[in-house]
Amino acid sequence: MSELTYAGKTFIFRVDNGVVFRNTYAADGTTLRYETVGGPAKGAEETVTVHTAEVAPGLFMLGWVEASGMTITHLMNLNTQAVHAFWTYETGDGRVAELHTGALEPA
């Protein structure tokens, strides 16, 4: 794998559902500190361990599990500043899966 070009950087991630995150990646790329800065969960924040695979230069598959049990997978394209995000979470009616797109901007 080549250099994790997102490591040590902070991005604003604007999701198609109106949620906005500030994602800060550790210098070694193994952890992510996210802060929800817009949308219904504004104020939520957590540091998570990130599992990474480089798909192509500048294209990374990132995955993590949050303390709530929510699972997140991002296909992060640093060439186009686009993200495809897939997440799952529990509701009273069972597990829900959602697919979203969004844009990154340096913070």
Query: What's the one-letter identity of residue 99?
Result: L
pLDDT class of 12 with cuts at 50, 70, 90 = very high
Token duo for residue 69: 């049990």
Percent over 90 (pLDDT), the chain: 97
What CATH number should be reported for the domain whose range is 10-106? 2.40.128.20
- Four-point Cα dihedral 24, 27, 31, 34, nearest 10: -10
β-pair type (10-15, 20-25) = antiparallel
Query: How far is it, in rounded angstroms, from Cα 15 to Cα 9?
Result: 19
Q: What is the pTM of this model?
A: 0.93
pLDDT class of 2 with cuts at 50, 70, 90 = low
